[in-house]
Structure 1
C-alpha cells in the first residue's frame, strides 16, 4: 500500500481527484507528462486498492468517471501536505541533486585517470 500511495503518479491523481469526480481525459490533461498507459495502470491499481471508484455511464459516447472513495479521502490531507512540501523545496532538491551529480562526475574522472 505504501508503494501505491507513495508513487509519483498516484499522488498526483489522488490530489487532482480531491477536487471531485473527473473524466479520464480531464485527468490526463491535468497531469503533465503522464502517458495514457501509465495513467490507466495507476487508475486500475488505485481502483483495485479501493482508493478510486470507477463509474461507467451508459451514454454515447461512453463516459468513464473516476472519484475518490471514502478510504482515499482520508489520504488527501497528508498527501496534499507532502505535495506542498515538495513544491516548496523543489529548488533545494534540484540544487542537491546537481551538487551530487557533479561530485559523482568528478570522482568518475579521477578513477578514469588512474
Structure 2
C-alpha cells in the first residue's frame, strides 16, 4: 500500500486564520493556504477558492480529493473538480456537515 508524502498534501481553508492555525497546529510540510474568515465575500460565493484551486496542479492518477463544509459550498466544489477539472467522482469525497433549511 502506498501512502501520500506530506509534500503532496495541499490544504485550502476558509476560516478565521488565527482560530484555524490554533486548531490545526503544526501542519508539517503540508501546504496550507488560508483564505480568510467566513465573512469574506468568497465565503458565500466560492469563486475565490475556485480561482485558487485553478492554479493547483492535479495529477492524472493516484490522487484523492476530500471536501468538507457547508452543503452548498462543497457541492459546488465537488461539481468543479468532477466537471471542470475532470476528476473521477470516485476520487472526490464530499462530507457536508451543515444544510440550510
User: When the two structures are superposed, what TM-score results if normalisation uses the length of structure 1?
Assistant: 0.25
Which has the larger share of helix?
A: 1
**Larger relative contact order (C-alpha < 8 A, sep ≥ 6)?**
1
Larger Rg: 1
Which has the larger share of strand?
A: 2
